């Protein structure tokens, strides 16, 4: 009998994405897409733009009072976003 080398499809896809250097951008996109779900629609309505650079999520908010409130909750927001994605994608969040 032959012993077959059986792999899970998920593992094969992740291995291929990792080899092509696409795993991190995919996780970053998934994290930014989950912003409204994690912080809520009210905060998401005041969010103008977001981008990730050097494991820091930069969020531009149009409301200064909300910016100050969310700055005090930075660590909690980082933990919730990373938990939603399932891995550590960002280490900090900054509000502009």
What is the full per-residue pLDDT of the chain (96 aa) written as tens digits?
677 888 888 888 888 888 887 888 999 999 999 999 999 999 999 999 999 999 999 999 999 999 999 999 999 999 999 999 999 999 999 999
DSSP per-residue letters across 17-56: HHHHT-HHHHHHHHHHHTHHHHH-HHHHHTEEEEEEETTE
Which residue range is the domain that position 53 belongs to? Answer: 9-95
Residue 4 in domain:
no
Contact predicate 55/90, CB 8 Å: yes
Residue 89 in domain:
yes
Residue 28 in domain:
yes
pTM: 0.82
* Dihedral sign computed on CA atoms, order 63, 88, 52, 17: negative
Residue 90 in domain:
yes
CA angle 50, 51, 57 (to 5 degrees): 90
Residue 52 in domain:
yes
Residue 2 in domain:
no
Residue 1 in domain:
no
For residue 28, the domain's CATH number is: 3.30.300
Position 1 scores a pLDDT of 61
Number of domains in the chain: 1
């Amino acid at each position: 009998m032959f012993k077959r080398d059986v792999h899970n499809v998920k593992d094969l896809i992740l291995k291929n994405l990792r080899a092509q250097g696409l795993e991190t951008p995919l996780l970053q996109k998934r994290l930014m897409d989950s912003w409204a779900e994690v912080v809520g629609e009210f905060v998401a309505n005041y969010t103008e733009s977001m981008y990730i650079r050097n494991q820091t999520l930069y969020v531009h908010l149009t409301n200064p009072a909300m910016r100050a409130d969310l700055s005090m909750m930075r660590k909690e927001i980082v933990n919730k976003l990373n938990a939603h994605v399932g891995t550590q994608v960002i280490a900090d969040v900054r509000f502009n």
